[in-house]
Amino acid sequence: MKTLAEDLVGEQAELKLTAFETRYARLIDFGANTFHMVNWTRVTATGAELQGRYTPSAGVSLQAAYTRIRHRSDEPLRGLPRQRASLGWPWQPGDSLRMDADSVHVGRTADLSTPTGKAMLPGHDRVDVSLQQRLTPRLTSSAASLFVYVEVENAGSRSEPFSLGLSGIERSAKRGLP
């Protein structure tokens, strides 16, 4: 895998661009036309990822990333979306409280199964939020503390399948002591 990365760094912001090219030889996959395992002679995936972070003040930041992939092969590669984007907002106003909100978009993805043959799964979005509260004071930097947390996975999205025949991630909530 060849990678070219460039960092642009400031006091409050960071921007990173990564370009990549990955070559696979003798990649084994399930062929949609033959319904047998096939050995692709050569597959090349190229793409770029742009990542950014902005920290306007201590305890709060905004993080974002966008990845675009293009591949050359006889058929679309299963389970490899051509684009993916994410946005994250970690917030820690003090030593004892932390909140995270994350959003991810995954573009259309090729897949196949024996009953359906080739299929293109629609893109989907996911939003996760979590809140963590420290219950006991931290006596030293290495001392363990007791936390309570609340986490909601897939908070703002409906379930989308990530593979043919499998249901997507449903909305769920967790709470407790880690």
Residue range 114-161, pLDDT digits in tens: 566 777 888 888 888 888 888 777 665 555 667 687 878 777 656 555
33 lies in some domain: no
- Domain presence at residue 25: no
More confident residue, 153 or 36: 153
Structural domain harbouring 83: 53-176
The pLDDT assigned to 52 comes to: 92
Is the whole model's pTM more than 0.75, yes or no? no
Q: Report the C-alpha gap between 15 and 25 in whole angstroms.
A: 33
Residues with Cβ < 8 Å from 178, sequence gap 6 or more?
147, 149
124 lies in some domain = yes
As a whole number of angstroms, the distance between CA 87 and CA 175 comes to 23
* Residue 31 forms part of a structural domain: no
Reply yes or no on whether the pLDDT at 10 is more than 70.
no
Show Cβ contacts of residue 143 under 8 Å, excluding neighbours closer than 6 positions: none
Let me know if residue 7 belongs to a domain: no
In a domain, 42, yes or no: no
Burial 147-161 (b: 16+ CB within 10 A, else e): eeeebbbbbebeebb
| Tally of domains in the chain | 1
Task: Please write the tens of the pLDDT for every residue from 71-119.
Answer: 877 667 777 788 999 999 999 988 888 899 999 998 988 877 656 677 7
Residue 131 lies in a domain: yes
Mean pLDDT of 57-69: 92
pLDDT at 95: 80
Assess if residue 161 is contained within a domain.
yes
| 20 CB-side CA count, 13 A | 15
Whole-angstrom distance, CA of residue 140 vs CA of residue 163:
46
